[in-house]
Every structure is written in structure tokens, then in C-alpha cells.
Copies of this chain bind each other. A is one copy, B any other.
Amino acid sequence: MGALHEGHLSLVRHALVENTDVFVSIYVNPTQFGVNEDLDKYPKTWEADMAKLIELKKEFRERSEQGIAGEIAGIFAPTTKVMYPVLPPSSEIDGDGSFVTITPMGKWLEGASRPVFFRGVATLFNIVQPDRVYFGQKDVQQTVLIKRMVKDFHIPTEVRVIPTTREADGLAMSSRNVFLGERRRKDVSVLSKALLAAQHSWNQGQTSAGRIRQTAFEVFDARLEKGDGAYFGSQKIEVDYIALTRSHDMTTIDDAEFIDPAEGAILSAAMKVHPVSDPEMAEERNQIPVRLIDNVILEPRR
């Protein structure tokens, strides 16, 4: 969707190494935004995006010329009238249009907060159908849903999932991070820290779903009690969910259950970071609530 950051560039680098012709999709797809979501506010940074891709082209020039790596063959940046030629796509969950829906998976977790999101993603992907597609691990439910769709619709696409690129403090890169502003930015790494602590307990041998989730919640609670950052003290961060789900279909592993070591699991979370209320500190771009997501894979073990 543009507003390219290192996470996106990592996808393009992987694609260049594994393919001859790489198309970079930069399209803020309206069908995946609900009526009250941030479509209008979504950052559009075309010039900066192009500059980054030109840098990347240079970075790969030698390898491309030697035929060791591919080339950025084009940017996929349609207008919405080209993409959805007949009706403007509805942003209502019961709205009309030509849609692909993948349920029940598309209704859970991110789908619960954003009812039309996966419908929009699936509809666009169904139109594009590349030979190989590169998704970031950060949007884990999207990767599981797309893999499921590829299987159900017999789509000849190989789905590649690339590890999440993180900032120095662990925050998963996201185009929405720019909305945070300085004050909120410094506290949001609690999300990845909570997930990594829980992953650590799995790596140490813990298999109780309840215990693993509790470990993640405790990281939030500890920060809250210590008043680490005014925003915790003033309830500026709200955990939406911390969910332990099966890797192949995103079904929930209940707290009373134990994770199958041979299958592993996905631990994913979402939190909402509310605007800073101090009017002296708040810049304009601080004024919108930002929803951040992240996840870790609890890898299978023998």
C-alpha cells in the first residue's frame, strides 16, 4: 500500500533474488478499508517510495546484470476506476460488489476489528494472481488466509512469507508507525517485548496455552504498574487481543489446552494506541488512534 519502509524493501529484495521480473504493488486498496477506518489518512508517499525503489535498483544492478538477481520490471499502481471498473466497491460488510470472502478465518482476530479487511485483500489478490507473491510475516493472519485461498481456489501462486523487519527496540515496521509521534513511539515496543517473552517461555519448554498468553499479558501489566511511560499510567495503550492460534487455520488454542509440540502455534496480538491528550505535546499527526499488530511463531519442535 505504499509508504514503503525497510519491511517492504525486504520483500522486494527476497523477490529479486528468487525471480527474474518483480512487480511492486503500490495500491491503497479501498475495498480493504471499512467505513470508519483510515483510508483517507493512510500515508501516501509516492515520490519517497520511488526514490527508495530506485536506490534498490542500484543496489541490485550488478547482480541483475550478471543474471544472479531479477529486476524491478514494473510498479503495479492502478487507479481505483481501473481496478474496480463497474461499481465503486462498498466499504459496508453487507454492501454490494464482486467480492472474494474467506470465512470463518476472515471474521476472526483482525477480521473482528476490521470486518471488510480480508474481503478486500482476497478480492484484490484474486485479481492479481502473480506466479509468486511476497507477504510479510507481520500480517500473519493475512498470510494464512491467502495460503488457504490459494488452496481452495487452486490458484497457481507460490506464497512466500518473509520475516518481520523490526526497529532497534523491537517494534515491527509498519506504515502506520509514522502516525505515532515521538511520545507514543517510545512506548509501543511493549507489544513485541510481550510476544518475545511469551515465545521465550515456549522455547524453554512451556506448552500451556494459558501460561504462554499470561506471560505476554504480564509484560503489559508490569509496564502499567511501574508507570513506565505516562501513557500506560493514563491508559493510552489498550490491548485488543493476545491470541494463540493453530498455524494452519488460525483456530484458537484455548487457555486450558496445551500446544502440540509437533505443530507449534502462532501468537499474535493487536493493541490500540490512543492520542496523547496533552495539547502542548500533541502534533497534528498524533491526533488519530493507531492500531498496531505483531506476532511471533512458536516453531514446532520434536
Q: Does A35 contact B (CB under 8 A)?
A: no
Query: What's the nearest-Cβ distance from chain B to residue A190, in Å?
Result: 35
Interface-facing stretch out of A16-24, A99-107, A290-298 = A99-107
Q: Which residues of B contact A85 (CB under 8 A)?
A: 151-152
Q: Is the CB of B127 within 8 A of A86?
A: no
Scan A96-130; emit 1 where CB is below 8 A from any B CB, else 0: 11111111100000000000000000000011000
Task: Pick the residue among B96, B97, B127, B152 that contacts A98 (CB under 8 A).
Answer: B152
Q: Which residues of B contact A98 (CB under 8 A)?
A: 100-103, 148-149, 152-153
Within 8 A of B (CB), among A130-161: 148-149, 151-154
Q: Does A217 contact B (CB under 8 A)?
A: no
Main secondary structure of the interface of A (DSSP, over half): mixed
Q: Does A220 contact B (CB under 8 A)?
A: no
Query: What's the nearest-Cβ distance from chain B to residue A90, in Å?
Result: 9
- CA distance in complex: A191, B248 (Å): 51
Considering only CB atoms, which chain B residue lies closest to A145 in the complex? B98
- CA distance in complex: A86, B144 (Å): 13
- CA distance in complex: A98, B149 (Å): 7
- CA distance in complex: A98, B121 (Å): 13
Count, chain A residues at interface, CB 8 A:
20
- CA distance in complex: A103, B96 (Å): 5
Within 8 A of B (CB), among A67-109: 84-86, 96-104
- CA distance in complex: A85, B151 (Å): 7
Query: What's the nearest-Cβ distance from chain B to residue A75, in Å?
Result: 17
Query: What's the nearest-Cβ distance from chain B to residue A99, in Å?
Result: 5
Q: Is the CB of B103 within 8 A of A97?
A: yes
Q: Is the CB of B86 within 8 A of A152?
A: yes
Q: Which residues of B contact A84 (CB under 8 A)?
A: 152
- CA distance in complex: A153, B152 (Å): 17
Query: What's the nearest-Cβ distance from chain B to residue A122, in Å?
Result: 8
Q: Is the CB of B153 within 8 A of A127?
A: yes
Q: Is the CB of A148 within 8 A of B97?
A: no
A86-B126 contact given A98-B101, A99-B101, CB 8 Å threshold: no
Q: Is the CB of B99 within 8 A of A148?
A: no
Q: Is the CB of B153 within 8 A of A126?
A: yes
Q: Which residues of B contact A100 (CB under 8 A)?
A: 98-100, 126
| Most B CB within 10 A of own CB, among A85, A86, A100, A151 | A100
Q: Which residues of B contact A104 (CB under 8 A)?
A: 96
- CA distance in complex: A13, B237 (Å): 66
A residues with a Cβ closer than 8 A to B are 84-86, 96-104, 126-127, 148-149, 151-154
The 8 A-B residue pairs whose C-beta atoms are closest, nearest first, are A98-B152, A96-B103, A96-B104, A98-B102, A127-B154, A127-B153, A99-B101, A100-B100
